[in-house]
Amino acid sequence: MPKYLLLKHYRGGPEPHRPVPPMDQWAPEDVEAHMAFLRHVSELLEEHGEYVDAQALTPARTWVRYGGPDAAPVTTDGPLPETSDLVAGWYMIDVESHERALELAAYVSSEPGPGGEPLYEWIDVREVMSEGAPND
């Protein structure tokens, strides 16, 4: 079965379908509904036997590269264009098919936002390369 990453982003990706303010500006009950939905997604994936992993990333980012012989690593955290991709976290799933991965991603994207309306958040779906030739 192929594995997929369903990536959520802090920023980057296609034009938002529906612009929303940051979550701390939502009504408290909308925040609760949103968080409850995300808990429910993990439970659902586990129940279906499709869950592998789910992680969140902090928004802090540092770019680093080799500095050359006897030199310290070179780092930078900007300036970067405001539109640059910033991954917020992921679900890793193990599913029957690409179609199933898209279906689950769309379900994640239906998570409730302000006023209980779906967020229509863009989810970045990436297939994980398998290792070792299949055994047939």
Partner 1 sequence: MIDEPPGRLDEGALRTLVPGVLAGLVRRGEDFDAAEDALQEALLEALRVWPEHPPRDPRAWLATVATRRLVDARRSEAARHRREEATYAEPRPAATEEGDDTLFLLFCCCHPDLAPASQVALTLRAVGGLTTREIADAFYVPEATMAQRISRAKRTLRGRRLDQPGDLAVVLRVLYLIYTAGHAGRVDLAGEAIRLARQLTLATEEPEARGLLALMLLNHARLPARLDPEGRIVTLDRQDRGLWDTREIAEGVRVLQSALAMQTEERRPGRYQVEAAIAALHDDAASAEETDWPQILAWYDDLVALTDDPVRRDPAAVLGRAVAIGHVLGAAAGLRETDRLREVLGERHRWHAVRGHLHELSGDLPAAATAYAEAARRATDVAERDHLVRRAARARAADRTQ
Q: Which residues bind partner 1 (CB under 8 A)?
A: 22-28, 30-32, 35-36, 39, 56, 58-60
Smallest gap from Cβ 43 to partner 1, in A, equals: 11
Q: Which distant-in-sequence residues (6+ apart) come within 8 Å of 19 by Cβ?
A: none
Q: How far is it, in rounded angstroms, from Cα 48 to Cα 126?
A: 20
37: left (phi over 0), alpha (psi -120 to 50) or beta: alpha
Smallest gap from Cβ 86 to partner 1, in A, equals: 12
Q: How far is it, in rounded angstroms, from Cα 9 to Cα 56?
A: 10
Nearer to partner 1, 56 or 80 (CB): 56
Nearer to partner 1, 67 or 115 (CB): 115
Nearer to partner 1, 88 or 125 (CB): 88
Smallest gap from Cβ 47 to partner 1, in A, equals: 17
